[in-house]
Amino acid sequence: MGMVFWLVLAILLVYGVILFNSLVSVKNAVAKAWANIDVLLKQRHDELPKLVDTCKQYMQHEQATLEKVIQARARVADARESQNIGALGAAEGALRSGLGSLFALVESYPELKANEQFLHLQSRISGLENAIADRREFYNESVNINNVRIEQFPELLIAKWFKFKRFEMLQFASEELKDVDIGQRFTA
């Protein structure tokens, strides 16, 4: 009888260690996914002032649009540094809206549209935007896996015991989910 008790206890202990290690792996996958987004956000953060400076040379009458991009960039940086996922989602929406307006206004400036530096920066930022969207999807999937695992039994017991936490999804701002009115962008 005593041998069976110790065998069952050993099996439960090994099972608990396996569950704990799998939860640690899932938690670290979320951290890795966030780090991937963070790198891309930093790269885009570094490129945006170059884009604004290039546009300023041609767009003296569009200061409000340029200022909107600069302010949104600052809000994204603040949210990224504090790892405030909710604020980051809203700031990202404002930044994308500002960039959309800026790129639409470029149509009125043929010299700027033909500027090699502008074209390079536009391409680079568009590529970073696509990469951020891909990484955001991976991040949200990692968060979902983590959140589901720490709520399932028996992982729930290990998660509560060792204080594993839920993570917040990186949500799109409501403006990002609306259809874009292309006509409005060109009259801005």
User: Does any domain span residue 38?
Assistant: yes
Q: Which residue has the tokens 């206890």?
A: 9
User: Does any domain span residue 90?
Assistant: yes
What pLDDT score was predicted for residue 179? 45
* C-alpha–C-alpha distance, residues 134 and 4, integer Å: 51
C-alpha distances (whole Å) from 118 to each of 58, 96, 153, 172 are 11, 17, 54, 27
User: Does any domain span residue 127?
Assistant: yes
CA 158 to chain centre: 29
Question: Which of 142, 134, 132 minimizes the C-alpha distance to 169?
Answer: 142
For residue 146, give the CATH number of its domain: 1.20.1440.20
C-alpha distances (whole Å) from 183 to each of 163, 174, 179 are 51, 20, 12
* Structure-token pair, residue 186: 């060109």
Domains of the chain: total: 1
Condensed to tens digits (0 to 9), the pLDDT of residues 15-70 reads 999 999 999 999 999 999 999 999 999 999 999 999 988 888 888 778 888 888 99
Condensed to tens digits (0 to 9), the pLDDT of residues 87-137 reads 898 898 889 888 988 888 888 888 888 888 888 999 999 999 999 999 999
Could you list the residue range(s) of the whole structural domain that residue 52 is in? 21-187
Per-residue burial over 129-151, b if 16 or more Cβ lie within 10 Å, else e, is bebbeebbeebbebbeebbebbe
User: Does any domain span residue 3?
Assistant: no
